[in-house]
Amino acid sequence: MRKKGDICKYLGSVIRTKGPIGTIKRIGMLIRRFDISGNKMKSAVLEIEQMGKKYKYRPTMIVPALVLYRHRNLLSCLSDANLESAIHGYTHKYFTPLNLHEQVSEIQKAKDVFNELGIPACGFRAPYLSWNGYTSEAVEKNQLLWESDETLMWNGFENPRVSKLVNSRENAVHELYTPLDAEKNVAIPRLRGKIVCIPVALPDDEILVDRLGIKDSKEIGQLWIKIMEDTYERGGIFTLNLHPERFRICREAMEALLRRAAEYSEPSIWVTSMREIADWWKEKSQFQFTFEAVPERGYRVRCECTDRAIVLCRNLPSEASKAQFYQDYSIVKEREFLIESGNLKPCIGVHPRCSRMLREFLTDEGFCYEVSDKNSKYSLFLNEYETFARKNEMDLLSRITENPNPIVRYWRWPAGMKSALVTTHDLDSVTITDFLLRLLGK
C-alpha cells in the first residue's frame, strides 16, 4: 500500500506536470470520462478492437495487472485474438525509483495475474513511461518479448492558438518523459539482449488533449499524420499511444491516421502489432551475408535470410536486377549475386577498439560488418568510434550515405514495407474507483 508520503509525492508530481488549473480540470475530466460500472471503458476497448479489424491489424492494450484482475469479467475481450495484451505494471506506480530486484518482482507479480486469467502478455510498458537503466533487464528476466518506454518527441505539436499558461507546461512534459528529439534520432526498435525496445511517439493523446487543450479530432489527426509521414520518409516506426479514456475525443484522428496509412503503396506502411514488430526485429537480427571473392571482379554475395527480407545495396555496379527503394538504396531481388567492387568487400569494416554500441546499432540497422584492423579491405572502414552514443547515429548514417562504394544491408522492415505503424492503448483505469485506488497503490 502506498504510504502517505508517497501519496503527497504523487499529487505533487501531478500538480507540477499539469499545473494547478490543469489538475482541477483533470478531476472534472475524470468524472466525464469514467463511470462506476466500467461500461464506458469497455465500449472504448471494443471500438478500438473493431477499428483494428477494419484495418486488419491487432491494437495493443497495456493494462496494470490489478486493474485487469478487478475487471476480469468486463475485460474478457482482452483474450480475443483481435487484441494484443501487455503488462503495465502490477499497479500503476512509478518504476523510475525501483531497483532491478523490485522491478523484476513487480513485473513477475503482474505476469502471474495475466497467466491466471489466461490472457497472454508478451510485452511491457512502465506506468507513466517511468523506466530506468534496470527496466529492460527486468523485462528480460521475466521472459517477455518487448518493452516500450523510450520516447521520441516530434516538434509539430506546438500550437500558436494555445495560451501561455498551457504552453508553459511543455517544460513539464519534458521533465516527466525526458524525450529524445525525433528530428535528431533514429526512430527504430533496438535489440537489447533478448528484449526488443520499441520507442513511443510523442505527443500522445494526453499531451495534445489535456496539456495543450487541443480538442479538435481533425487537428489531432493532422498532427499524427505528420508524424507518420516523417517516419515513412525516414523509414522508421510510429508507435502511437492513445488511452481508451480519450478515444471518443480522438476516434476520428485515429481513423484518419489508419485510413491515410492504408493509402500508401509500393512501398507500403506496415500497420501491425507490437508482437509482430518484436518477432520481426529478432528474426532480422539473425540474417547474415557471406562473401566469396571473384578475382579481378569483386565479390559474390549470398544472403542468409528468410523470404520476407528486403536486401538493399547502394552504389551497385552489379549483374543483379535492382529497383530503387530508399534514398540511393536499390532492392536486390536475388539471394545470390555478384557485386563488381574490385578488391573492396561490400560491407563495413569495424576496428576491434570500436564500441560495442556501434556494432549493436549496425545490427539493428541491418548492415553487414566485420571486426578487423585491415582498413583497405572494405567499402567503408570505421576506426574512430571507441565510444558511441545515440548522438552519433545520424552522423554515422550520413557517413554511410556519402560513401561512394557499394554496401549491402537488410532493410528495417519486411516484405516491401518502408515504415511501420502500431497503435498502443494504456488502459490505466476502467472506473473512477480505479483512479482513486491508484492513490493508495492498488
The residue that leads in pLDDT, 16 or 67, is 67
Q: What percent of the chain has pLDDT above 70?
A: 87
β strands within 59-166, DSSP E: 60-63, 84-87, 121-124, 146-147, 151-153
Q: Is 272 part of a structural domain of the chain? A: no
Which position has the higher pLDDT, 222 or 322? 222
The reported pLDDT for the residue numbered 1 is 46
Res 120: pLDDT: 92
Kindly give, in sequence order, each residue whose CB lies less than 8 Å from that of residue 123, ignoring residues fewer than 6 positions away: 60, 62, 84, 86, 87, 144, 145, 146, 147, 148, 274, 275, 278
Rounded to 5 degrees, what are φ and ψ at 345? -75, 130
Provide CB contacts within 8 A for 298, sequence distance 6+: 317, 338, 339, 340, 341, 342, 344, 346
State the average pLDDT for the chain. 88
Residue 12: other Cβ atoms inside 10 A: 10
Statement to judge: residues 404 and 429 lie in one domain: no
Same domain, 77 and 114: yes
Question: Are 161 and 133 contained in the same domain?
Answer: yes
Q: Which residue has the higher pLDDT, 272 or 323?
A: 272
CA distance 152 to 177: 9
Higher pLDDT, residue 38 or 174: 38
The helix, strand and coil proportions of the chain, stated in percent and rounded to the nearest 5, come to 40, 20, 35
In a domain, 273, yes or no: no
Residue 189 and residue 69 share a domain: yes
- 224 with 90, same domain? yes
Domain-embedded: residue 56: yes
pLDDT at residue 390 is higher than 60:
yes
Cα 98 to Cα 8, 94, 105, 273, 320, distances in angstroms: 18, 8, 10, 29, 53
Partnered with residue 345 across adjacent β-strands are: 378
Which value, to the nearest 10 degrees, does the dihedral of the CA atoms of residues 228, 229, 235, 241 take? -10
Could you tell me the CA-to-CA distances from 213 to 171, 255, 404, 426 in Å, in that order? 16, 20, 49, 20
* CA-closest candidate to residue 154, choices 187, 199, 189, 201: 201
Note whether 87 and 427 are within 8 A (CB).
no
Mean pLDDT of the region 267-281: 97
- pLDDT (tens digit, 9 = 90+) per residue, 426-435? 999 998 888 7
What pLDDT, on the 0 to 100 scale, is given for residue 314? 83
Angle between helices 356-364 and 393-402 in degrees, nearest 10: 60
Mean pLDDT of 358-378: 95
Asked whether residue 217 falls in the same domain as residue 305, the answer is no
Are 396 and 260 found together in one domain?
no
Domain that includes residue 384, residue range: 288-415
SS3 for 73?
Answer: coil
The pLDDT score that the predictor gives to residue 78 is 85
Query: What pLDDT does 440 receive?
Result: 75
- pLDDT range class, residue 325, cuts 50, 70, 90: confident
Same domain membership, residue 300 and residue 181: no
Domain count for the chain: 2
Q: Which of 174, 66, 181, 71 is nearest to 127 (CA)?
A: 66
* pLDDT number for residue 161: 45
3-state SS assignment for residue 387:
coil
Residue 73 is assigned to a structural domain of this protein = yes
Residue 164 clears pLDDT 50, i.e. is over it: no
Domain CATH number, residue 120: 3.20.20.370
What are the pLDDT digits (tens) for 25-37?
666 676 677 778 8
- Asked, for residue 155, whether it belongs to a domain, the answer is yes
- Residue 165: pLDDT band (50, 70, 90) is very low
Please tell me the distance from the alpha carbon of residue 86 to that of residue 103, in angstroms, as a whole number: 16
Query: What sign does the dihedral 382-388-390-392 (CA atoms) show?
Result: negative
Torsion (CA) 309, 266, 256, 253 in degrees, nearest 10: 40
Residues 302 and 255 in one domain: no
* CA–CA gap between residue 373 and residue 32 (Å, rounded): 65
Q: Largest alpha-carbon pair distance within the chain?
A: 77
* CA 285 to each of CA 200, 276, 430: distance values in angstroms, whole numbers, following the listed order: 21, 14, 38
- Residue 173, pLDDT score: 66
**149 and 257 together in one domain:** yes
What is the pLDDT at residue 2?
47
pLDDT over 90, % of the chain: 71
Residue 298's alpha-carbon distances to 18, 331, 368, 421, 442, in angstroms, are 61, 19, 16, 38, 65
Distances (CA, A) of 280 to 241, 258, 308, 351, 356: 21, 21, 9, 29, 22
pLDDT, mean of residues 350-369: 96
Which run of H or of E encompasses 42?
helix 39-54
